[in-house]
């Protein structure tokens, strides 16, 4: 299972964050990456500064023949298309695409797999649980649901957004 997380809290040339995520999913097939399943989108409070605009987050399962390094480069190219500026960590952004898991591979070189902070991020785990309830973390062996249950109660509340149907299988 190849899993990505998508998010953003600034508008891009195509519209607000949810529209940008949908357009980014539509761009993936041009690069040999097929979205197989996409979660609902969720609104989440900005972190670390809650005064920043709220984020919109989603997760997707992918099919591709690309190796992890090539896939990561392709995902970053899609981020760039939608105006991603790489600056300080956790800064507001138009689009962020993280490679969470690539068929259970565990490695410490870039891209680190599985994503090293995914187990502590409800905005990643909740959408992932929606589309892959049987997925297990390649290191801990825990499901997304078990990882969510281990998070502080205050961090588990996300707001599910109405569907945006701008991507196609």
- Residues annotated as catalytic (active site), given as ranges: 84, 93, 96, 98
Kindly report which listed range (13-27, 78-92, 122-136) carries the lowest average pLDDT score: 78-92
pLDDT value for 168: 47
Q: Which residue has the higher pLDDT, 160 or 154?
A: 160
Q: Checking DSSP bridges between strand 33-38 and strand 55-64, what pairing results, if any?
A: antiparallel
Q: Cα-Cα-Cα-Cα dihedral of 157, 155, 94, 40, to 10°? A: -30
Q: What is the pTM of this model?
A: 0.94
Q: Cα-Cα-Cα-Cα dihedral of 58, 59, 64, 67, to 10°? A: 110
Assign residue 131 a region: left if phi > 0, alpha if psi is -120 to 50, beta otherwise?
Answer: alpha
Contact 124, 98 (CB under 8 A): yes
pLDDT tens-digit readout, 10-68: 999 999 999 999 999 999 999 999 999 999 999 998 878 889 999 999 999 999 999 99
pLDDT value for 50: 86
Residue 156 clears pLDDT 80, i.e. is over it: no
């Amino acid at each position: 299972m190849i899993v990505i997380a998508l998010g953003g809290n600034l508008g891009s040339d195509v519209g607000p964050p949810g529209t940008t995520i949908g357009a980014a999913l539509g761009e993936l097939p041009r690069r040999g990456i097929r979205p197989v399943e996409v979660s609902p989108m969720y609104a989440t409070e900005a972190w670390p500064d809650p005064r920043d605009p709220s984020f919109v987050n989603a997760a997707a399962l992918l099919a591709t023949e690309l190796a992890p390094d090539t896939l990561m480069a392709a995902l970053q190219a899609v981020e760039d298309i939608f105006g991603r500026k790489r600056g300080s960590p956790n800064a507001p952004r138009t689009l962020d695409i993280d490679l969470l898991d690539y068929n259970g591979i565990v490695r410490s070189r870039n891209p680190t797999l599985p994503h090293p902070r995914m187990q502590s991020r409800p905005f990643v785990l909740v959408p992932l649980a929606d589309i892959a309830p049987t997925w297990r973390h390649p290191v801990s062996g825990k499901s997304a649901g078990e990882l969510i249950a281990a998070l502080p109660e205050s961090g588990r509340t996300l707001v599910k957004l109405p569907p945006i149907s701008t991507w196609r299988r």
